[in-house]
Amino acid sequence: MPPPGRPPIGLHLTRTARVLSRAFENELAAAGGSEPVWLILLSLKAQQLGNQRKLAEAIGIKGATLTHHLNAMEADGLVTRRRESTNRRVHRVELTDAGQALFQRLRGVAVDFDRRLRAGLSEEDVATLAALLDRLRGNVA
């Protein structure tokens, strides 16, 4: 049991994650994005994942959910999709110039948000926090 007056670590972590997630989502929205759009753009830029199946796996969402997001992103002119000539079941996804511009804008938001989160923390604090979060994740895996 936690000390009196202190919530269990899982509840404390859940509350903190919810506050941080909401704040990050609000900042992304103010810049014209959302968390799913940011994750898709980031994955396309960082890993050059043009295949929808691999993209869904990298982001950790179901294929149908990814298709929903990609439909909206394609309608907004952020991505293009085309079938591979060698396997018509495989869709290749690529960023358009508008998608590249949104990526840059959202990247700035993410960097600024991370800077705010790290305020007052040393590199050692950040490394310790990351190790503790990894351990908590491992404890429930």
Domain at 101, CATH number: 1.10.10.10
Give the chain's domain count: 1
Question: What is the extent of the structural domain holding 47?
Answer: 34-140
> In what helix (H) or strand (E) does residue 81 lie, and over which residues does it extend?
strand 79-83
Residue 73 lies in a domain: yes
User: How high is the pLDDT of residue 48?
Assistant: 66
Maximal CA-CA distance, the chain = 64
User: How high is the pLDDT of residue 89?
Assistant: 67
User: How high is the pLDDT of residue 7?
Assistant: 79
Contacts of 121 (CB under 8 A, 6+ apart): 129
Residue 8 lies in a domain: no
User: How high is the pLDDT of residue 138?
Assistant: 95
Nearest C-alpha neighbor of 63 from the set 89, 99, 87, 98: 89
Residue 107 and residue 31 in contact, taking contact as beta carbons nearer than 8 Å: no
User: How high is the pLDDT of residue 126?
Assistant: 96
Residue 25 lies in a domain: no
Residue 78 lies in a domain: yes
9 SS3 class? helix
Residue 108 lies in a domain: yes
pLDDT along the chain (141 residues), means of 10: 76 94 97 94 79 82 89 95 72 90 97 97 97 94 89
* Cα distance between the two ends of the chain: 21
User: How high is the pLDDT of residue 99?
Assistant: 96
Residue 135 lies in a domain: yes
